[in-house]
Amino acid sequence: MPPPPSNIVFARVETPTDETFVHDANDIMASVMGQGRYPAHEASLALTGGDMTRVARLGGLMIRPISLLSGVGHAYTARDEIGALVGFLLFTLPGQLMLSTDEQRKMGMYEYMADLSPEVQEYFAETMGKEVPKLNDQMFGIEAAERTTYWCNMAMVRAEYQGKGIAKRMFQMAFDEAAKLGATVALTTTNRVNVPIYEKIGFTLRGEKTVPSPWVNWMMWYFSKDTEAQ
């Protein structure tokens, strides 16, 4: 991958940030997941019950608790020369888990769930609350894999900035932080396009699984990186 453009400024942001970051990050997530360079992700279709107009709200319920609650996680940002957000990573700290507390779930999840049909509510709760964590533990061979690792919940770069080394630079910063924490970095992706990208960044592919849904079957690819030698 090429070095990132010289006009991009990178930072690790101690949470909490602010609603401006939530809005800008959610805008990037919605564009990448549903309206960007690639077709709508199967995972987005499944978790919204086939209604892609819900993608922005889905992103918000994940972004908000990590970025606004102190001690939950870290954000890594890439901004252009005028300060506009062009990419970000969100990590939960070892010992933390996204949407695992009532305080976190009150920051968008309950509202999102209430507006879903009973079928979609049941699928979302069962899949995200039970099946996905179970698969994570199986594939990584670690009990409570998301809590045990420095877990990347989201990695997004605006379509026009992709392929420019921006994600790689942010992940290098995350690897350094994980080494200080004595933690393995782990993540999953639901987009096949990301598989060779994560391998080039330095992750090891641990396996893949198909996740069924009433609307579309979707894939998960599992990656980790040992940072002890960093």
Residues contacting 49, CB < 8 A, separation 6+: 116, 117, 119, 120, 123, 215
Domains in the chain, CATH or no CATH each: 9-225 (3.40.630.30)
- Residue indicated by tokens 């609350």: 129
Q: Does 133 sit behind a cis peptide bond, omega within 30 degrees of 0 on the bond before it?
A: no
Taking only the tens place, the pLDDT of each residue in 141-171 is 999 999 999 999 999 999 999 999 999 999 9
Closest CA to 49 of 163, 216, 227: 216
Look at residue 36 in the predicted model and tell me its pLDDT: 43
Which tokens go with 184?
A: 């393995």
Q: What's the predicted TM-score (pTM) here?
A: 0.93
Low-confidence ranges of the chain (pLDDT < 70): 1-2, 34-40, 228-230
Closest CA to 85 of 183, 182, 13, 184: 13
Look at residue 44 in the predicted model and tell me its pLDDT: 87
Instruction: Give the alpha-carbon dihedral of 180, 184, 187, 193, to 10 degrees.
Output: 90
Taking only the tens place, the pLDDT of each residue in 53-77 is 888 889 999 999 999 999 999 999 9
Q: What share of the chain is helix, strand, coil (3-state, %, to 5)?
A: 45, 20, 35
